[in-house]
Chains A and B, each alone.
Chain A
Amino acid sequence: AQKVTQAQTEISVVEKEDVTLDCVYETRDTTYYLFWYKQPPSGELVFLIRRNSFDEQNEISGRYSWNFQKSTSSFNFTITASQVVDSAVYFCALSGDQGGSEKLVFGKGMKLTVNP
């Protein structure tokens, strides 16, 4: 069975601090996909990034970066120089080989509060 664990439930930082959100997954599939979604206080779920199991290249997009390590089954997300607008709940999710065309298994989410 697939499982996603976000051990941190809540983090509070001061603006401009860097923050890393941890995600550990379990799957028996050899091909799988990992996702991060953001849920701001307004409630919608916003897609941030998708990675497949064959692509361990880490990615940087502006202030966001992702670190995918198959050896430790981790897909961590870092926000550099955090801003108040980054305050949200962040979800890590996992699917099988059909990617976004099949069920996503979500972690419990991690609430990030960025204080001015």
Chain B
Amino acid sequence: DAGVIQSPRHEVTEMGQEVTLRCKPISGHNSLFWYRQTMMRGLELLIYFNNNVPIDDSGMPEDRFSAKMPNASFSTLKIQPSEPRDSAVYFCASSRYSGDTDTQYFGPGTRLTVL
């Protein structure tokens, strides 16, 4: 079975440009999470969806960040305009609620560098 798929794997852009990160969750999973990993702040949740509905976006840094999940098999995280401090690894994870066995499985991450 395919795991969580993220694209691109690496993105280098210049300050002020729009960046779109993409995620395809594991088939059958109904929860999707976006996390960011930096040296200073570690792994932190940005936003998560249950059944395509945003549940908690309190971790989204500011209005420059937005996330959508138009259907069960696709989500995007957009940064507009990007800034150097957005440089980080962005992980997408998915899970399927099943009582006592649901676990978040992570994609390979997108390493974003904003110059």
For the complex, is A103 an interface residue (Cβ under 8 Å from B)?
yes
B97 with A103: CB separation less than 8 A: no
Interface of A is mostly: mixed
For the complex, is B50 an interface residue (Cβ under 8 Å from A)?
yes
Binds A, one of B11-19, B61-69, B80-88, B100-108: B100-108
A106 to B45, CA, bound (A): 9
Shortest B93–chain A CB gap in Å is 8
Looking across the interface, which residue of chain A has its beta carbon closest to that of B103? Answer: A100
A100 with B95: CB separation less than 8 A: yes
Contact residues in A for B93 (Cβ distance below 8 Å): 45
A47 with B105: CB separation less than 8 A: yes
Interface of B is mostly: strand
Looking across the interface, which residue of chain B has its beta carbon closest to that of A108? Answer: B42
Given A43-B108, A45-B91, A47-B104, CB of A98 within 8 Å of CB of B42: no
Interface residues on chain A, size class: 20 to 34
Contact residues in B for A71 (Cβ distance below 8 Å): none
Interface residues on chain B, size class: 20 to 34
Shortest B5–chain A CB gap in Å is 12
For the complex, is A66 an interface residue (Cβ under 8 Å from B)?
no
Residue among B101, B104, B111 with most chain A CB within 10 A: B104
Shortest A98–chain B CB gap in Å is 7
Contact residues in A for B89 (Cβ distance below 8 Å): 43
Looking across the interface, which residue of chain A has its beta carbon closest to that of B56? Answer: A103
Residue among B42, B43, B96, B102 with most chain A CB within 10 A: B43
Interface of B with A (CB < 8 Å)?
31, 33, 35, 42-45, 48, 50, 55-56, 89, 91, 93, 95-97, 100-109, 111
Interface of A with B (CB < 8 Å)?
35, 37, 43-47, 50, 52, 91, 98-109
In addition to A103-B45, A104-B104, 13 A-B residue pairs with Cβ atoms within 8 Å of each other are A43-B89, A43-B108, A43-B111, A44-B107, A47-B103, A101-B50, A102-B55, A103-B56, A105-B45, A106-B42, A106-B44, A109-B42, A109-B43
